[in-house]
Amino acid sequence: MNKVVFVTHNKGKIETAKELLKEVEFEVYEYELDEPRSDDINYISKQKVMEAYQVVNKPCISMDSGFWIDELEGFPRAYVNFALDTIGIEGILKLMEGKENRKCRFTECLSYYDGKELHQFMGKHEGILASEVLGRDTEKKWSDLWYVYKPYGYDKTLAQMTDEERRTRKKYGSINSLEEFAKWYKENEK
């Protein structure tokens, strides 16, 4: 099998990849990719992996994710970093004060590009939004949203959960794009 390069600067994504891509030989190239302004995480992920390939000139993966809050008509969607940089977690919680519908979800798209073909793998993680910041910092954290996102089937935020609880949440319908990619890669790459 060829080695795949994961181009990212997100330490949490790197830690998760180390855990979930055990059967894929990969290396990390820490680099902050440009993020095009779009509401479409598939498009953003595609653009990022194409840029990543130009940087490393090897088969590579890149990911993009978004966060949708039903009561806020999907806000912040693919603009998670912008929302966190401007209004922050406290601002998001303020927007949700007095709201009963707290359904939300992470969606993610992992793109793989080998210089010829692009393959994309989707992930989705349903949950509810906590009413306050809960939990502790962890090296596996992808985003500060981990302090307010409670996966479906749990009454804890990701920041409150053990590693084992985070791993087993797929039994509640969670689909992880890294796992989807690992399955495909094992079956299709020589």
Per-residue HEC secondary structure of the chain comes to CCCEEEEECCHHHHHHHHHHCCCCCEEEEECCCCCCCCCCHHHHHHHHHHHHHHHHCCCEEEEEEEEEEHHHCCCEECCHHHHHHHCHHHHHHHHCCCCCCCEEEEEEEEEEECCCCEEEEEEEEEEEECCCCCCCCCCCCCCHHHHCEEECCCCCCCCCCCHHHHHHHHHHCCECHHHHHHHHHHHHCC
State the catalytic residue, choosing from 34, 39, 40, 64.
Answer: 64
**70 is a catalytic site residue:** no
* Residues forming the active site: 64
